[in-house]
């Protein structure tokens, strides 16, 4: 068996008095979609920020292709092939799609002694990549602010994929989307997975997770509650793990419905 | 020995003309062995100046020297200082009568309107019929009076010829150039001090009009004396600021130490400096002249 | 309302508390208030000047009156700026407004010959109308108030110089004091209060008397300038308005999140416009006091006062982006400002260092205030 | 049969070129929880803003207790007993709980000629109402910024209920919350409904809707697709109505999971 | 990447388009650019002055040079302010920095006796170090740059006056020109370019010659002042940097959403700090040109220049909160500023009205710009 693409072991992270993570372990294989579920404030965002070099963990180690690494900035993590699409700030609405797409990794061409942003190439590739994802742009100069929420998420995913991410982390890409747009994003996830990239898909929504996930890890109050494979677990069980299930069962009982 | 006097001026931080007075104060305080604090409102706001005078009198100095940039604003604080028993000498702006009303010992300065009028008379004799007055300190009544006197002497009504040039030299220069471009018949210029004179000299030079326009200025500096020598400036009105800085300190020291004081106000100016008498002052212009 | 599932309420309540966060100690909680930074600053500044200028007359009655007056001046405009800033806007045209109102009063009394009270009332009306227009523009166009009031900084200053130059060919108009003599309202701005008290004090040797001149025998302090009375009244009323009334709650709400406030029925536009008017009102009080005290108005009065007001407010702990702050803090900020400015004169320090001091104090105060605010509001 | 608490008939609303609503009809009875479902951008928020006086409809009429009304501001709607808890801006984080609770309707007491904010009363009632909702506050002066997201929603609901709302509108109160906090909010909804107040509960999440809803209306691209009673419809059918179901069915098929 | 479910991609793409929104026409799209507001403003201002001052010499070569120089001055500081504003910060200490750099150069040459080139280099180094410190503070403390740079507005101005007063007892230091004569670098700031060209032009009658006075026979225009050359160079380089390079993309990103930019690996702190340094650089270019042209430096030079820079930038279409704007726009803003200021003199309008004009233009331009920006960015 080959080493997983990325492996995080016993990660802990404190913010002053707040213990956001307290021993979380997780690994991602190539071509797998690993869903990270958890209640609000469970520490999901903190965990993936640790993985992508934004925070330094207080404890634990990160292994990429079996080797222990230490990221001191998001650039390091990206260089190691870990790309992240963050919850709210995937894109800058005031900037054009091309500028957003290439942000931080602009292609350059020589112009005498100077290096210029190679817009011709950038625009062409952007349009191509967007078309592959099923997004039709009026022009690559179009500001991201004029796109819908689902389109923005897709641009962010396309960007990460294009830059050769080995591991792609999506922080609640569907939380602000409607059903139709969600379906679009889930289809994109599936497509990316089939290309052999490892995915970490963070969500609250058990149904979304079950639709595309291969493995499921549940976080609760900064701790891993366990990891299950697809087929080993059903929606009810996952829901239970996320919140302890007790209140929900009680609530469902007292309201006479299913939650 | 070691008496403390406060000298309050109305000039904003940048007015270079006051350097002579500061030098004079330094000379006087060294010679007399007294301590003189020079205070001014940083932006030239006269209301701030009134506060400074109040503050000075609250700190109980042995004497206060102040300008009367605006009688209305400053008469209150100054006469309060007098009433507290602090000897006051007024200098520079203001008139003798105002100084007397305040209760100051005497006034060392130059009557502004008369100085402007004198300059105007000379200009008229030289054939000036339409002029521009470059006012870099339009919020000081004294500077408006100078323009007014000049205009009255020539016999024209003061209107748009007084331009609010601001203090920034680039702005002064380009405004003067714009004015002269738009009013090509202008044949007289009055500047109110080095702050407006220096950029005006540069403007004339750039427009190739150096020496073709009758140019009078107030006050001296090394650049102005240079321009007088080369004929760009016809004359400078010298109010001999050194005296305005030096005399009050000496007089106050004598008053504190020996109880003696001159009985009358002193007119330190105006003196007209032209090409013929420039040699005398050239060396020291901008420092002690 | 009775709870249908009583048991789970208790249960949920317990779980709503997060065991992962430490509680704050009671003492720290009592200490932590918006004004804390300004209070510390005030203490520090006083200790500093007591030690370096304690014997210079700075803390004698006249000295106190001197820096007190200066602080009161700052406080008058700071109160307006503070409430406006809490309501989420700010006003860069305060300084120009001071020049404008002063010239209006002087022109109307000296040139037009109106009685002083009429001139003052007209100036107040005009200034507040302009303030309201400022506010209206900010609200209608949705532009940042920085830009709108920056435009008015220029427009008002230009107008002021223009009208004073074209009507009188001067930028200083004097003779207001004579024109305002025995006026029923002018006294409110230029007069001195508690004259009797100071006569009494001087008779008991607590305050010195003039030794020469026409005022010989009178106390050196004629009374508390009305400027100070205005400052105190504005501070107290402003503080009460902000912390104790419904309208005060609306001010916080308008600045904290205008949209949220609008949705629960707070008349945000009205609140913001009235705060712009209040700022204009305060600027006019400042201008009127100055004109009545000195008897003249100048077109360049109030230059850079907008910054001084904002600095006082920010030292006092208000948040630049609105929704948080304290009038008392702003008043303390003004006090610090005044004491430092005049204190350096008393201490005989080169006066140009004043600005350096001020800048440094501003920086330190804001850093402290930010720290305090985060603790109070849970902001990150 | 008595008239419904509020009835909206054939409401249309345009924003320049955008037609946000194009004929929406809905009614709420006392003690009922009416769920409004719909995809992203379907017009749900626009619809309830029309109901609560923020927008004026371009067409259609609003009836309260059978009488046609026209709201020109949120104050009018509130006066008519319609209270709304908005999606993101329910509370102002910099202000204390009491100040937030009473915002816009501050209790006053006379103090000589002046009227002052009656903090004593306000604080007491706030603490009481919060306790009823199961939220334990350290003190009523605590800034809302120090509360969790679910707690904030609950404060907003408590406020609306306290001010005698007849109709309470909740715009996606659960979208930013975790399972545990969601359960809390759903329980609150149930409690409010049992007190005889009519509720409009907006959500994307079919499960949340089914847990507490009595009737369900689905919006799609600015139009009502129909209203169903509890029991007449199941999750699959609702999901279908929201998005047309076709893509989702296809997606589920191609991914081999359930969405 | 091949699509596993080819059919649904096409399908989804069609549905991603919203049939409810009208498409914008091609013509309108080409027209709608960040500079549009400034372009309209420029045209308007020129039409206005052509009609009221067309025959006053304003559009003769000398006149053009006149307002051109003024505009160039504004443009130099506007370029720095523009890039900084796009990067999401702004700098109120520009004016103080101008005074500071000038005094440093004058002190070092006249008092210390350094050669001019050394003094200039030291001034640049100092100013940029201060700029970097400004930026560092903003980033480290997380305070709004408004407050941090406001503090530096005071600190720098105070320091400038302090050092010039304590070392020379003057606030104007002259004699720099003499000291800088035949200096290898000073010429770059104070000289005139293309003298030969203008001699040639005058010989061919395109530019007039002086008919009287000491310079009779020489062309009325001696050459293009280096100030203008600097302005052009800065505008062109700034524009290229912003729109055609990687770093330019980072500037937009840093201002648009610093956090998002940081997460994709843009070195936001470095970008912001270098923009603060650029602003300081531009201020020092301004100061050096002024010192070399007039031969003297004064401690109060540059007063209120920070506002003038911000106004030019905002007229030019930049967004006050960052992430959007154009260097060309800012340059046009500076042009409008210069033309209006000088044009009023040519037109013989009372010069104090300049400020009123400026304020009104600012308001109108910003309202237009906001409208345009919303169309481009879909912002609401
Ligand atoms: N920079 C920070 N400083 C202090 N506390 C933090 C910081 N970032 C996160 N936290 C705290 O850490 C905990 C975990 O937060 P995190 O954002 O990781 O949760 P999450 O699982 O992503 O929640 P959500 O579902 O809302 O996205 C929370 O209690 C949060 O308040
Ligand atoms: N003020 C406005 N101006 C222009 N268009 C608007 C405005 N408000 C909403 N819209 C548009 O109207 C449509 C409906 O928006 P609305 O916010 O009502 O949707 P929603 O169903 O609440 O979506 P969500 O689930 O995201 O909350 C959208 O296309 C939106 O862009
Ligand atoms: Mg998260
Ligand atoms: Mg919505």
The pLDDT, as a whole number, for residue C97 is: 96
Q: For residue range A9-33, what is the model confidence (pLDDT) as tens digits?
A: 999 988 877 788 888 899 999 889 9
The pLDDT, as a whole number, for residue C160 is: 92
Grouping H, G, I as helix, E, B as strand and the rest as coil, residue D213 is coil
CATH number for position C339: 1.10.3470
For residue E16, pLDDT beyond 50: no
The domain tally of chain E equals: 1
Contacts of C310 in chain E (CB under 8 A): 150
| Ion ligand 3 — residues with CB < 5 Å | A 45
Grouping H, G, I as helix, E, B as strand and the rest as coil, residue B239 is coil
Q: Is E1 on the interface with A (CB under 8 A)?
A: yes
For residue C26, pLDDT beyond 70: no
The pLDDT, as a whole number, for residue C148 is: 95
| In chain A, where the domains are located | 6-91+165-255
CB atoms within 10 A of CB D3: 13
pLDDT along chain D (259 residues), means of 10: 81 81 89 86 85 88 89 85 79 89 88 87 89 76 80 82 85 75 80 87 82 87 82 76 58 52
For residue B184, pLDDT beyond 70: yes
Q: Is D226 exposed, middle or buried (0-12, 13-18, 19+ CB in 10 A)?
A: exposed
The pLDDT, as a whole number, for residue E25 is: 57
Mean pLDDT of E346-366: 86
Which letter does DSSP use for residue C209 in this model?
Answer: B
Ligand nearest to the CA of D17: 2
Contact assignment for A190 to D254 by CB distance below 8 Å: yes
Q: Is C301 on the interface with B (CB under 8 A)?
A: yes
Q: Which of A148, A182, A247 sits opposite D41 (nearest CB)?
A: A148
Q: Is E23 on the interface with D (CB under 8 A)?
A: no
Domain range for C121? 39-372
As a whole-number percent, the residues of chain C with pLDDT over 70 amount to 89
The pLDDT, as a whole number, for residue A258 is: 43
The pLDDT, as a whole number, for residue C5 is: 40
Angle, alpha carbons A78-A80-A81 (nearest 5°): 65
CB of E336 closer than 8 Å to CB of E315: yes
The pLDDT, as a whole number, for residue E75 is: 96
Of residues A98, A50, A89, the one with CA closest to residue A173: A89
Q: Using CA coordinates, name the residue in chain A closest to D207.
A: A259
Q: Which of E5, E21, E22 sits opposite D254 (nearest CB)?
A: E5
CB of C180 closer than 8 Å to CB of C109: yes
The pLDDT, as a whole number, for residue A178 is: 67
Is the pTM higher than 0.90? The answer reads no
CB of C301 closer than 8 Å to CB of B49: no
* CA A149 to ligand 2: nearest atom: 26
Ligand 2 atom 16 nearest Cα? D43
* CA A15 to ligand 1: nearest atom: 4
Contacts of D17 in chain E (CB under 8 A): 20-22
Residue C28 pLDDT class (50, 70, 90 cuts): low
- How far is Cα D196 from Cα E118, in angstroms, rounded to an integer? 84
Mean pLDDT of E84-99: 94
User: Which residues, including other chains, have CB under 8 Å from residue B258's CB and lie 6 or more apart?
Assistant: none
Contact assignment for C249 to D191 by CB distance below 8 Å: no
Beta strands in chain D (DSSP E): 6-15, 18-28, 33-38, 59-64, 67-69, 82-85, 108-111, 114-117, 167-171, 198-203, 215-220, 223-229
Question: Is residue E8 in a domain?
Answer: no
The pLDDT, as a whole number, for residue D143 is: 86
Q: Is D246 on the interface with A (CB under 8 A)?
A: no
The pLDDT, as a whole number, for residue E58 is: 82
Residue B289 pLDDT class (50, 70, 90 cuts): low
Grouping H, G, I as helix, E, B as strand and the rest as coil, residue A51 is helix
Touch between chain B and chain A: 3 or more Cβ pairs under 8 Å: no
Contacts of A150 in chain E (CB under 8 A): 16
Which residue among A12, A19, A44 has the greatest number of ligand 1 atoms within 8 angstroms of its CB, and so is best to mutate? A44
Q: For residue range C264-285, what is the model confidence (pLDDT) as tens digits?
A: 888 999 999 999 999 999 999 9
- Chains in contact with C, counting 3 or more C-beta pairs less than 8 Å apart as contact: A, B, D, E
Q: Which residues pair with D35 in a beta bridge?
A: D201, D216
Element housing E297 (H / E): strand E297-298
For residue E345, pLDDT beyond 80: no
CATH 2.30.31.10 applies to domain D6-91+165-255 = no
Ligand 2 atom 31 nearest Cα? D41
The pLDDT, as a whole number, for residue E7 is: 38
Contacts of D102 in chain C (CB under 8 A): 249
Ligand 2 pocket by Cβ (under 6 Å): A 178; D 15, 18, 20, 38, 40-46
| Ion ligand 4 — residues with CB < 5 Å | D 45
The pLDDT, as a whole number, for residue C35 is: 86
Complex-level ipTM: 0.86
Question: Is residue C249 in a domain?
Answer: yes
Ligand 1 pocket by Cβ (under 6 Å): A 15, 18, 20, 38, 40-46; D 178
Q: Which of C211, C301, C348 sits opposite B37 (nearest CB)?
A: C348
Range of lowest pLDDT (B265-274, E19-28, E202-211, E269-278): E19-28
Cα of A56 to ligand 1 centre, how many Å?
Answer: 15
Q: Which of E155, E161, E370 sits opposite C143 (nearest CB)?
A: E370
Q: For residue range C95-144, what is the model confidence (pLDDT) as tens digits?
A: 999 999 999 999 999 989 899 999 999 999 999 999 999 999 999 988 99
Q: State how far residue D221 is from chain E, nearest Cα, in angstroms.
A: 9
Which comes out higher in pLDDT, residue D178 or E85? E85
Residue C286 pLDDT class (50, 70, 90 cuts): very high
Q: State how far residue C15 is from chain D, nearest Cα, in angstroms.
A: 9
Contacts of B168 in chain E (CB under 8 A): 301-303
Q: For residue range B138-182, what is the model confidence (pLDDT) as tens digits?
A: 766 677 788 889 999 998 888 778 887 877 787 888 888 888 888
Which residue among E21, E374, E379, E380 has the greatest number of ligand 2 atoms within 8 angstroms of its CB, and so is best to mutate? E380
Q: Is E355 on the interface with B (CB under 8 A)?
A: no
For residue A236, pLDDT beyond 80: no
Ligand 1 atom 5 nearest Cα? A15
């Amino acid at each position: 068996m080959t080493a997983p693409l990325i492996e995080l072991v016993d990660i802990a992270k404190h913010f002053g008095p707040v213990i956001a993570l307290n021993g979380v372990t997780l690994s991602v294989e190539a071509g797998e979609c690993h869903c990270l579920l958890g209640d609000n404030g469970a520490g999901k965002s903190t965990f993936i920020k640790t993985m992508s070099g934004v925070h330094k963990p207080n404890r634990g180690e990160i292994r990429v292709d079996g080797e222990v690494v230490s990221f001191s900035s998001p650039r390091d993590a990206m260089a190691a092939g870990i790309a992240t699409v963050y919850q709210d700030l995937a894109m800058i609405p005031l900037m054009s799609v091309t500028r957003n797409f290439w942000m931080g990794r602009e292609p350059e061409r020589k112009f005498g002694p100077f290096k210029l942003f190679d817009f011709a190439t950038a625009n062409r590739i952007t349009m191509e990549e967007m078309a592959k994802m099923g997004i039709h742009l009026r022009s690559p100069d179009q500001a991201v602010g004029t796109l819908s929420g689902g389109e923005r998420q897709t641009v962010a995913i396309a960007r990460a994929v294009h830059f050769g991410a080995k591991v792609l982390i999506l922080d609640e890409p569907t939380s602000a989307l409607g059903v139709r747009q969600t379906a679009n994003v889930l289809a994109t996830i599936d497509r990316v997975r089939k290309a052999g990239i490892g995915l970490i898909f963070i969500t609250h929504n058990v149904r979304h997770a079950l639709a595309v996930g291969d493995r499921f890890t549940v976080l609760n109050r900064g701790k891993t509650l366990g990891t299950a494979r697809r087929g080993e677990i059903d929606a009810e069980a996952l829901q239970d793990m996320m919140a302890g299930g007790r209140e929900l069962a009680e609530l469902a009982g007292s309201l006479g419905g299913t939650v | 020995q070691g008496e403390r006097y406060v000298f309050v001026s109305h000039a904003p931080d940048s007015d270079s003309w006051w350097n002579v007075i500061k030098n004079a104060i330094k000379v006087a305080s060294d010679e007399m062995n007294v301590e003189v604090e020079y205070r001014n409102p940083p932006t030239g706001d006269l209301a701030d100046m009134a506060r400074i005078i109040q503050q000075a009198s609250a700190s109980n100095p042995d004497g206060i020297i102040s300008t009367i940039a605006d009688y209305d604003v400053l008469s209150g604080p100054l006469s309060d200082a007098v009433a507290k028993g602090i000897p006051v000498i007024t200098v520079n702006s203001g008139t003798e009568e105002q100084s007397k009303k305040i209760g100051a010992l005497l006034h060392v300065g130059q009557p502004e309107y008369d100085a402007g009028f004198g300059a105007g008379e000379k200009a008229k004799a030289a054939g000036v019929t339409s002029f521009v007055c470059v006012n870099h300190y339009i919020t000081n009544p004294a500077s408006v009076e100078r323009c007014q006197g000049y205009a009255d002497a020539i016999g024209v009504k003061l209107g748009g010829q007084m331009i609010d040039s601001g203090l920034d030299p680039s702005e002064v220069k380009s405004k003067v150039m714009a004015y002269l471009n738009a009013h090509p018949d202008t044949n007289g210029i009055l500047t109110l001090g080095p702050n407006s004179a220096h950029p005006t000299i540069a403007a004339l030079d750039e427009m190739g009009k150096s020496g073709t326009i009758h140019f009078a200025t107030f006050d001296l500096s090394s650049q102005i004396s240079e321009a007088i020598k080369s004929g760009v400036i016809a004359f400078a009105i010298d109010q001999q600021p050194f005296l305005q800085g030096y005399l009050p300190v000496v007089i106050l020291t004598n008053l504190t130490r020996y109880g003696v004081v001159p009985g009358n106000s002193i007119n330190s100016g105006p003196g007209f400096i032209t090409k013929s008498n420039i040699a005398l002052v050239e060396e020291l212009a901008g420092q002690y002249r | 309302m009775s709870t249908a599932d009583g048991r789970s309420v208790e249960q949920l309540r317990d779980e709503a508390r997060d065991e992962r966060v430490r509680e704050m100690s009671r003492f720290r909680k009592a200490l932590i208030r918006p004004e804390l930074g300004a209070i510390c600053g005030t203490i520090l500044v006083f200790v500093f000047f007591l030690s370096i200028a304690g014997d210079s007359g700075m803390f004698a009655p006249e000295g106190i009156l001197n820096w007190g007056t200066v602080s009161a001046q700052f406080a008058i405009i700071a109160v307006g700026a503070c409430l406006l800033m809490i309501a989420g806007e700010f006003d860069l045209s305060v300084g120009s407004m001071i020049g404008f109102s002063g010239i209006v009063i002087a022109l109307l009394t000296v040139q037009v010959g109106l009685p002083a009270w009429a001139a003052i009332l007209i100036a107040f009306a005009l200034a507040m109308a302009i303030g309201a227009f400022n506010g209206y523009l900010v609200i209608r166009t949705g532009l940042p108030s920085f830009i709108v009031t920056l435009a008015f900084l220029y427009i008002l200053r230009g107008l002021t110089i223009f009208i004073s130059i074209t009507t009188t060919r001067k930028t200083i108009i004097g003779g207001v004091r004579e024109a305002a003599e025995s006026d029923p309202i002018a006294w409110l701005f230029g007069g001195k209060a508690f004259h009797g008290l100071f006569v009494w004090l001087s008779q008991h040797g607590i305050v010195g008397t003039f030794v020469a001149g026409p005022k010989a025998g009178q106390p050196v302090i004629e009374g508390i300038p009305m400027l100070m009375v205005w400052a105190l009244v504005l501070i107290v009323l402003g503080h009460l308005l902000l912390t104790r009334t419904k309208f005060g709650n609306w001010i916080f709400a308008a600045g904290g999140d205008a949209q949220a406030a609008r949705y629960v029925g707070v008349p945000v536009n009205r609140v913001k416009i009235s705060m712009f008017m209040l700022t204009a009102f305060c600027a006019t009080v400042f201008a009127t006091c100055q004109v009545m005290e000195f008897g003249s108005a100048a077109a360049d009065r109030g230059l850079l006062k907008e910054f001084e007001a904002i600095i006082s407010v920010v030292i006092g702990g208000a948040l630049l982006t609105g929704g948080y702050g304290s009038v008392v803090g702003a008043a303390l900020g003004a006090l610090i400002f005044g004491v430092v400015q005049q204190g350096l004169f008393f201490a005989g320090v080169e006066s140009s260092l004043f600005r350096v001091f001020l800048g440094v104090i501003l920086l330190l105060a804001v850093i402290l205030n930010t720290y305090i605010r985060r603790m109070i509001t849970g902001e990150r």
